[in-house]
Amino acid sequence: MPWTYQCDTDKDVIYITASGVVTESDLAFGAAEILADRRLGPTTRTFNDYRATTGFQLSPEFVHAMGKTVGVQVIRSRRAYLVNDEAQLKAVNAYLNAVGSEWIRVFTDRSALVAWLNEGHPPERHIA
């Protein structure tokens, strides 16, 4: 799975793009890389674009473990997932159930996702 991320420190947002088959090793490596990035703070919003994924090879135990470790470390930052099919929705919802956070949402509509990530932020920090 190609996994890329880009940090916009002016807007306090990180953009993550995933494509292809999502594997446990890809997610673990990507999460470690992002959590080690010193440009990110506890309020950095995350825009996860999963529309180009074609499958998921994740055990329920792995999803639960990721939710309890990564989810707790950034608990008060809004994280939004953009998906476009049922398999993507199911995989992301499994993670959301493990985290149990009101700060994470999944969307099929990009404009709704952007509006939610922008809530409570001044206009100069709004993303498009």
Which residue segments constitute the domains of the chain, with CATH numbers given? 3-121 (3.30.750.24)
DSSP for 25-52, please give it.
HHHHHHHHHHHT-TT--TT-EEEEEEEE
Report, in angstroms and rounded to the nearest whole number, the Rg of the chain calculated over CA atoms: 14
Quickly state the pLDDT bin for 76 (edges 50, 70, 90). low
Quickly state the pLDDT bin for 67 (edges 50, 70, 90). confident
- pLDDT digit string, tens, across residues 114-126: 999 999 999 999 9
Q: Average pLDDT for residues 82-102, to the nearest whole number?
A: 80
Quickly state the pLDDT bin for 97 (edges 50, 70, 90). confident
DSSP for the chain, please give it.
--EEEEEETTTTEEEEEEEEEEEHHHHHHHHHHHHT-TT--TT-EEEEEEEEEEEEE--HHHHHHHHHHHHHHTTTS-EEEE--SHHHHHHHHHHHHHH--TTEEEES-HHHHHHHHHTTS-GGG---
Above 60 in pLDDT, residue 71? no
pTM (2 decimals)?
0.87
- pLDDT digit string, tens, across residues 1-56: 588 899 999 999 999 999 999 898 988 888 888 878 888 887 889 999 999 999 88
Q: What is the largest CA-CA distance in the chain?
A: 40
